[in-house]
């Protein structure tokens, strides 16, 4: 790990005792970021020989960081705030406005605690079982279908599973529409043009849909089981006894449904990894350690969220560099998961690197780092791992299938990334 960035060798500005943060010369790098995608920060860090540089994104000066020390800094809530950090485009599509992602301090902790209350080991296993049941129910149709596109099929199974888990009723004809909207919110995260507008429309429809359900729970016309996400967000009262505004409850409920459906991307990457490393097909069944290592390496190796954003809460200095109040800072999640000083041969898929791994909240950070309750680390990490293990078991133990010729290339300039074909399988047959 690079403990101390070396700067760019330029003299500090007059009156500034600090080193100058290496700075991109381009007046704005937004297009370069969209072109380079997941590699944008890492390539520049390599070029400057640091784990820090500054650039302009969306016309705003932005400090970019990667690596363990940077992640530890970034998750220091005394130094960074989330309010106003996420660009408006992302709020209008991916996250919505007013949700936990943009809260700080006590308001964040109180809201986050609601999520964590939903994530008991029993509840996580229940969602896993619902997902396995969905596979079992769908497999006869897959056997008949001949050709199955894993991404959309798994997304639809996850929509059904998570709605059942969250107490969200799904009428007969609703599944495809709701799945498509949840997928569009995810796909539009860093999009411009039609994909962005599709995401906005989907978010609008999604908030209306679950907002209406929240209203029904409050008037008593709908009664989801106790402890389900719909019931919990609809009935939660803050310290002053106030319910969450209906739109905010809708945003938070979508924060459970949408990312659970997004796990379909990790399931596709799991299938891709099995395809590229077939020896693991034999190693995983019946070996919980091997399965755990495989899932961790899929989360580390394959691209999902490239970065996360915060703002400097008040002026401070770190490793000789000055961070001015209000400055936007991006932490490179993908680049940290591929940092050569943290992960030997980072571009090789090697699950065994996780054998005996002691765990570190700041090195494996595909879903953010630090602490779940006090920081912004993903509330759904346990769910994600459980669902991926369930998928791995189905793919290696319950079925055999063929992978016909198709475009499996993963374009790192497309965020979020996916194999171009969505991973098509044929000749599915049940074995277990």
Site of interaction with ligand HEM (CB under 6 A)? 100-101, 112, 115, 255-256, 259-260, 262-263, 266, 304-305, 308, 333, 366-368, 376-380, 383-384
Name the residue nearer to ligand HEM (CB basis): 206 or 366: 366
Name the residue nearer to ligand HEM (CB basis): 269 or 323: 269
Minimum distance from residue 35 beta carbon to ligand HEM (Å)? 22
Minimum distance from residue 254 beta carbon to ligand HEM (Å)? 10
Minimum distance from residue 101 beta carbon to ligand HEM (Å)? 4
H and E: helices and strands count for the chain: 15, 10
Q: Which residue reads 């000749």 in tokens? A: 427
Report d(CA 12, CA 19) in Å as an integer.
Answer: 5
Report d(CA 131, CA 145) in Å as an integer.
Answer: 20
Nearest by Cα to 336 from 51, 142, 10, 11: 51
Per the structure block, which two tokens stand in for 431? 């074995």
Minimum distance from residue 126 beta carbon to ligand HEM (Å)? 13
Query: Closest residue to ligand HEM, Cβ-based?
Result: 380
Name the residue nearer to ligand HEM (CB basis): 67 or 368: 368
Nearest by Cα to 8 from 57, 67, 40, 55: 55
Minimum distance from residue 91 beta carbon to ligand HEM (Å)? 13
Distances from the Cα of 173 to the Cα of 4, 17, 179, 203, angstroms: 57, 65, 11, 19
Report d(CA 274, CA 298) in Å as an integer.
Answer: 10
Minimum distance from residue 266 beta carbon to ligand HEM (Å)? 5
DSSP 376: -
Minimum distance from residue 270 beta carbon to ligand HEM (Å)? 12
85 CB-side CA count, 13 A: 28
Q: What is the dihedral of CA 20, 24, 26, 27, to 10 degrees?
A: -50
């Amino acid at each position: 790990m690079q403990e101390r960035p070396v700067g760019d060798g330029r003299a500090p500005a007059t009156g500034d005792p600090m080193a100058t943060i290496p700075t991109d010369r381009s007046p704005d790098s937004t297009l370069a970021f969209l072109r380079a995608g997941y590699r944008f920060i890492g390539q520049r860090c390599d070029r400057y020989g640091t784990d820090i540089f500054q650039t302009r994104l969306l016309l705003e000066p932005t400090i970019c960081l990667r690596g363990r020390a940077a992640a530890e800094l970034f998750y220091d809530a005394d130094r960074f705030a989330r309010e106003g950090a996420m660009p408006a485009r992302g709020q209008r599509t991916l996250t919505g406005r007013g949700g936990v992602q943009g809260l700080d301090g006590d308001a964040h902790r109180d809201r986050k605690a609601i999520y964590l209350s939903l994530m008991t080991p029993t509840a996580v296993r229940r969602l896993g079982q619902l997902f396995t049941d969905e596979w079992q129910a769908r497999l006869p149709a897959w056997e008949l279908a001949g050709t199955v596109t894993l991404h959309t099929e798994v997304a639809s199974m996850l929509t059904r599973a998570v709605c059942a888990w969250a107490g969200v009723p799904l009428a007969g004809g609703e599944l495809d529409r709701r799945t498509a909207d949840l997928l569009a919110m995810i796909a539009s995260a860093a999009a411009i043009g039609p994909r962005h507008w599709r995401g906005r429309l989907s978010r609008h429809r999604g908030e209306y849909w679950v907002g209406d359900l929240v209203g029904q729970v409050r008037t008593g016309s709908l009664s989801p089981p106790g402890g389900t996400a719909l019931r919990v967000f609809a009935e939660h009262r803050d310290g002053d006894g106030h319910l969450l505004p209906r739109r905010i409850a809708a945003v938070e409920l979508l924060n459970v449904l949408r990312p659970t459906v997004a796990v379909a991307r990790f399931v596709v990457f799991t299938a891709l990894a099995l395809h590229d490393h077939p020896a693991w097909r034999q190693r995983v069944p019946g070996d919980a350690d091997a399965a755990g290592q495989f899932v961790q390496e899929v989360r580390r190796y394959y691209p999902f969220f490239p970065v996360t954003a915060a703002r400097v809460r008040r002026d401070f200095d770190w490793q000789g560099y000055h961070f001015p109040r209000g400055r936007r800072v991006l932490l490179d999640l993908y680049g940290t998961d591929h940092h050569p000083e943290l992960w030997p041969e980072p571009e090789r898929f090697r699950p065994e690197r996780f054998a005996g791994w002691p765990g570190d909240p700041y090195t494996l950070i595909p879903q953010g780092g630090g602490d779940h309750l006090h920081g912004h680390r993903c509330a759904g990490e346990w769910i994600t791992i459980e669902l991926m293990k369930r998928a791995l078991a189905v793919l290696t133990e319950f079925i055999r299938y063929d992978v016909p010729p198709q475009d499996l290339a993963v374009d790192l300039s497309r965020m979020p990334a996916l194999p171009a074909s969505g991973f098509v399988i044929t000749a599915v047959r049940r074995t277990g």
